[in-house]
């Protein structure tokens, strides 16, 4: 019997240890969130680092021997809240040079809404080489009923862009965040917007 009593005591101690493991793994599930964010930021997976901001006085090192196509995609999430399009579907750029392109968005509803554009870059290994100094995606965009906006994006591909990349796609999806903005402070990817002096 004493042997069984020791067994039961060990079992109780073991159970508490395993309960701690359970709590740890519950926390680990949540820890995956910042971990995933960090990995995406580091590698450019999911086009994550595309919203990286460089100051507008960044040194231009133009590589005029190389031409890369940059294509723009615009999507509106769920329904027809906005019309949303790029002025040009595609531009040809030299790495190391700053360019400005424009996007048009119009609130098609007769009430005020707040929009947040979420960018994504493909292919994934181009993501960390696309730098933006100005973008409407840096902050939430309030639209009055029926309001139209002409919005610039100022960007540069750095010369370290992998040689096999000849086309980069920059995609924006507009989300209606009116409810979310009322619920809590926005989690915008960067706090302030840099104003570029000229194009």
Q: Which residues bind to another protein, rule: CB under 8 A?
A: 3-4, 7-8, 10-12, 14-15, 18-19, 21-23, 25-30, 32-33, 36, 40, 43, 45-46, 77, 116, 118, 122, 124-125, 173, 175-177, 180, 183-184, 186-189
Shortest reach from residue 67's CB to another protein, in Å: 25
- Name the residue nearer to another protein (CB basis): 43 or 196: 43
- Residue burial 95-120, b: 16+ Cβ < 10 Å; e: rest: bbebeebebebebbeeeebbbbbbbb
**Minimum distance from residue 198 beta carbon to another protein (Å):** 31
Nearer to another protein, 76 or 153 (CB): 76
Shortest CB 8 distance to another protein, Å: 6
* 45 vs 91, beta carbon nearer another protein: 45
Nearer CB in complex with another protein: 93/137 = 137
CB of 6 to another protein, least distance (A): 8
């Amino acid at each position: 019997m004493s042997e069984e009593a020791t067994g039961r005591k060990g079992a109780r101690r073991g159970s508490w240890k395993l309960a701690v493991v359970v709590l740890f793994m519950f926390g680990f599930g949540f820890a995956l969130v910042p971990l995933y964010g960090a990995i995406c930021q580091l590698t450019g997976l999911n086009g994550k680092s595309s919203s990286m901001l460089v100051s507008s006085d960044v040194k231009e090192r133009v590589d005029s021997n190389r031409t890369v196509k940059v294509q723009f995609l615009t999507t509106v999430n769920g329904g027809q809240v906005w019309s949303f399009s790029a002025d040009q579907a595609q531009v040809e750029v030299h790495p190391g040079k700053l360019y400005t392109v424009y996007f048009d968005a119009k609130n098609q509803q007769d009430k005020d809404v707040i929009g947040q554009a979420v960018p994504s870059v493909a292919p994934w290994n181009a993501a960390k080489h696309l730098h933006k100094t100005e973008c409407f995606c840096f902050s939430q965009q309030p639209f009055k009923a029926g309001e139209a906006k002409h919005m610039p994006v100022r960007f540069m591909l750095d010369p370290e862009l992998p040689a096999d990349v000849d086309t980069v796609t920059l995609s924006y999806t507009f989300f209606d965040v009116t409810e979310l903005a009322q619920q809590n402070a926005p989690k915008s990817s960067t706090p302030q917007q840099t104003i570029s002096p000229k194009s």
